[in-house]
Structure 1
Amino acid sequence: MGKVLNFGELLLRICPDPEGNWLKVNNLPFFVGGAELNVATALSLWGIPSAYMTSLPRNFLAEQLVAYVNELGIDTSKIEYQGERIGLYYLHKGKDMKNAGVIYDRSNSSFATLATGVVNWDEAFKDISWFHFSAICPALSQLTVDLCEEALIEASKRNITISIDLNFREKLWKYGKAPIDVLPSLVKYCDVVMGNVWAAEKMLGITVDEDLVDNDDKAQYLQQAERSSKLIQEQFPKCKAVANTFRFDHGQGVRYYSCLYTDQQLYVSKQYMAEKILDKVGSGDCYMAGLIYGFYQKQQVQEILDFATAAAFSKLFIASDATTLKPEEIKEIVIKYEN
């Protein structure tokens, strides 16, 4: 098996506190991340050969960031160098990416301005057996839509397994296209699709029962997940597996479980509950990494699902964008939260 190539924008997450005390202490915490880099970080930590492809400017900050990624054991030889800036976003500590307060500063970044016809895909896909990207990439601009499609066509030519995370960031879709206008043309290349039933509705047009949220019934959620998964596979015949996560916030805590539909069967994970968590950012990325980790090693479906769910839940207790826990540590931590 070759490496897993994760494709997306490297970001700096800047975390001002809600009270504005950072102004008084002259200190603004930040984290290195980006959805696909978070996946790459987890996979490398878990012993899966991992590569990362993005676009960065040629300056000392980019050099330091690439050195940092290299130290994580991730192959950075696929990175393109062009453009003038690194993408940023601002988010209060403890909030997730769907929070209304998130501020993006990603316009005209190096990744957002990387055009088609530039990447040497023979070099990019050398020794690669899995290609992963997310719906955040085509949210940036038509340029990145075209770039994603170019990458997917080239990966498909080489029989590389392709996965997508249908993560929806409403504030990014500002160039005249809605997700439903873009994602179907990209998902048709994918073997593994991960997200939730509401993301599938918004991005792929897979309708959800209007009463689903009001009823808050786990059995109905799972029925909807199975129905949505079947429709995704009917609409996109290349898709072999569909994963749906369910995270419900309760005050400072959460309830979390997921399911995976493959080979005409719905597999359901254990459920976890916690009264208090630390950081929501990167939990979905950790789940995606868990799926790739299991499929890459050809594990049994239930084992794949259980580890991905445990990994995502354990990430909620880590104050960084990517997990720092190894598989054995993850399994030890989540046991006490089983519900």
Structure 2
Amino acid sequence: MGKVLNFGELLLRICPDIEGDWLKNNNLPFYVGGAELNVATALALWGIPSAYLTALPDNSLTEQLTAYIQGLNIDTSAIQYTGERVGLYYLHQGKDLKNSGVIYDRAGSSFATLKTGTINWDEVLKDVSWFHFSAICPAVSLAAAEVCEEALREASARNIRISVDLNYRAKLWKYGKEPIEVLPRLVQYCDVVMGNLWAAEKMLGIPVPQELAIADQKELYLQQAAVSAKQLINDFPKCKVVANTFRFDAGAGVRYYSALFTANQLLVSKQYSAETILNKVGSGDCYMAGLIYGFYQDKPAAEILEFATAAAFSKLFVEGDATTVKANDIKEKVRNYED
């Protein structure tokens, strides 16, 4: 098997405390992340050959960032050195990226200004057997969406397995296109689709009954997961696997489970709950990494589902953007949180 190539924008997360003490203390914590880099980091940690494709400016900061990524055992040879700046975002510690308080500073970044026809795909896709991206990529800019589509055409032409995380970020879609106008063109290339019911509705037009969210009943959610997955596979025949995550926040705590639809069967994971968690950023990325980890090794679908769910839940107790929990430690990490 070849490398897993993860394509997306490297981001620096600036993390001011809610009280504003960072101003008085002259101390502003930050984390290196980005959805696809978080996936790459988890896979490398778990022993899967992992590579990363992004665009960064050619300067001393990039040299340090690239060295940092290499130190995580991630292949950086595909990185494109172009443009003027690294993307940033600001988020208070413990908050969710879907939270209205997130502030993006990504306009005009190296990734946002990446152009089609500039990447040597023969070189970049050499020895690659899996290509992963997220719906954040085409949300950044029209140029990024066009490069993403180019990448998928090239990967598909080489029979490379392709996965997507349908993570929706309302604040990023600002260049005149709605997700429904962009994502179907990209998802047609995908073998594995991960997200949630409402992201699939927003991005792919797969309807969800309006009253479903209000009902808040697990049985109804799972019934809809099967219905939505069947329609997705019907609409996008290349897709063979659909995963849906369900995370419900309650005060400082969380309830979490997921479902995997494949071979015309819906599998449901264990459910985990915690009264307090540390960090919501990167949990979905860790779930995606868990799926790739399992399918890359041809493990049974039920085993893949349980590992991905446990990995995602364990990430809620890790401070940074990417997991630091080794594959062999994940089950033990979440054992006491099973419902």
| TM bracket, shorter-chain basis | over 0.9
Aligned residue for 1:131? 131
RMSD between aligned residues: 0.4
Aligned residue for 1:172? 172
2:288 pairs with 1:288:
yes
**What does 1:1-339 align with in structure 2 at a 5 Å threshold?**
1-339=1-339
AA partner of residue 199 (structure 1): A
CA distance in 1, matches of 2:327, 2:148: 31
Gaps in structure 2 of 5+ consecutive residues: none
CA distance in 1, matches of 2:42, 2:31: 15
SS of the aligned residue for 1:247 comes to: strand
How many Å apart are 1:128 and its aligned residue? 0.2
CA distance in 1, matches of 2:209, 2:258: 18
SS of the aligned residue for 2:242 comes to: strand
Length-normalised TM-score, structure 1:
1.00
AA partner of residue 287 (structure 2): Y
SS of the aligned residue for 1:308 comes to: helix
Superposed CA deviations along residues 192-230 of structure 1, whole A, max 9, x for unmatched, are: 000000000000000001111111110000001110000
CA distance in 2, matches of 1:324, 1:193: 24
CA distance in 2, matches of 1:153, 1:217: 40
Superposed CA deviations along residues 167-212 of structure 1, whole A, max 9, x for unmatched, are: 0000000000010110000000000000000000000000001111
How many Å apart are 1:333 and its aligned residue? 1.0
Length-normalised TM-score, structure 2:
1.00
CA distance in 1, matches of 2:224, 2:320: 32
SS of the aligned residue for 1:317 comes to: coil
SS of the aligned residue for 2:322 comes to: coil
Q: Percent identity?
A: 72
SS of the aligned residue for 1:27 comes to: coil
Gaps in structure 1 of 5+ consecutive residues: none
SS of the aligned residue for 1:109 comes to: coil
SS of the aligned residue for 1:259 comes to: strand
Superposed CA deviations along residues 61-94 of structure 1, whole A, max 9, x for unmatched, are: 0000000000000000000000000000000000
CA distance in 1, matches of 2:23, 2:171: 26
SS of the aligned residue for 2:246 comes to: strand
SS of the aligned residue for 2:118 comes to: coil
How many Å apart are 1:19 and its aligned residue? 1.1
CA distance in 2, matches of 1:113, 1:10: 13
CA distance in 2, matches of 1:62, 1:141: 21
How many Å apart are 1:328 and its aligned residue? 1.7
AA partner of residue 190 (structure 1): C
CA distance in 2, matches of 1:289, 1:155: 19
CA distance in 1, matches of 2:222, 2:285: 21
CA distance in 1, matches of 2:95, 2:302: 30
CA distance in 1, matches of 2:161, 2:111: 23
CA distance in 2, matches of 1:249, 1:56: 35
How many Å apart are 1:233 and its aligned residue? 0.2
CA distance in 1, matches of 2:19, 2:275: 23
Superposed CA deviations along residues 124-172 of structure 1, whole A, max 9, x for unmatched, are: 0001000000000000111111101100000001000000000000000
SS of the aligned residue for 1:67 comes to: helix
Superposed CA deviations along residues 278-312 of structure 1, whole A, max 9, x for unmatched, are: 00000000000000000000000000000000000
CA distance in 2, matches of 1:140, 1:70: 25
